């Protein structure tokens, strides 16, 4: 239920131009309408990727919190060519969450552990897709649990102890590591960002 204002601290850092650096093309999206099916958000992600790619000429890095990571995976599964450089997920219920058993809306039902939607998402996934992912997770996430639900096989899974679900996105370690990926030399890596 967070809108794009969630990403304001990140946007301020991406806008910053340090010595020898330039600002980065970026956009943030609100996954709306709230509680809709996760596939509903793919068009918003597609438009954001197009916008950043047109502004920069580079494939972006997607930085996704919670359900945004599932929407990004659904969007990736629809692509016929690779349009992103990397995907960073923060507290994303890749394998559902125990808490979703109490959900009644479409997206909540999709995030139930063992749901048909998650099974289909895994089946459609391109075999090399998980190598694009860095997945941040915590043992104290109060929304996405058990802990293993936020990890993907083949991804760079990064554990942060003691962080709650929203807190995880703003921890210095998570922000610094992710921003380091974004801020690398543009000759080595695409440095543009879509936040979902």
How confident is the model over 87-131, as pLDDT tens digits?
999 999 999 999 999 999 999 999 999 999 999 999 987 766 888
Whether the Cβ atoms of residue 150 and residue 141 lie closer than 8 Å to each other: yes
Q: Where are the beta strands (DSSP E) in 138-185?
A: 156-159
* Cross-strand bridge partners of residue 26: 193
Query: b/e per residue, 9-20, with b = 16+ CB within 10 A?
Result: ebbebbeeeeee
For 51-66, b where at least 16 C-beta lie within 10 A, e where not — what string? bbbeebebbbbbbbbb
Which of 53-62, 63-72, 177-186 has maximum average pLDDT?
A: 63-72
Q: Is residue 131 helix, strand or coil?
A: helix
Q: What is the pTM of this model?
A: 0.91
């Amino acid at each position: 239920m967070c809108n794009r204002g969630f990403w304001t601290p990140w946007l301020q850092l991406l806008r910053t131009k340090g010595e020898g650096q330039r600002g980065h093309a970026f956009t943030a999206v609100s996954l709306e309408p709230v509680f809709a099916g996760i596939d509903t958000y793919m068009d918003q992600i597609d438009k954001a990727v197009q916008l950043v790619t047109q502004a920069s000429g580079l494939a972006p890095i997607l930085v996704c919190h919670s359900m945004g990571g599932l929407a990004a995976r659904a969007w990736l599964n629809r692509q016929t060519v690779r349009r992103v450089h990397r995907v960073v997920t923060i507290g994303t219920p890749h394998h559902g969450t125990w808490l979703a058993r109490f959900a009644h809306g479409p997206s909540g039902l999709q995030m139930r552990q063992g749901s048909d939607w998650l099974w289909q998402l895994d089946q459609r996934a391109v075999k090399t897709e998980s190598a694009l992912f860095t997945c941040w997770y915590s043992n104290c996430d109060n929304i996405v649990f058990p802990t293993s639900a936020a990890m993907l096989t083949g991804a760079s899974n990064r554990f942060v102890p003691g962080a709650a679900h929203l807190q995880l996105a703003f921890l210095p370690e998570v922000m610094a590591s992710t921003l380091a990926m974004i801020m690398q030399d543009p000759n080595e890596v695409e440095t543009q960002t879509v936040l979902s």
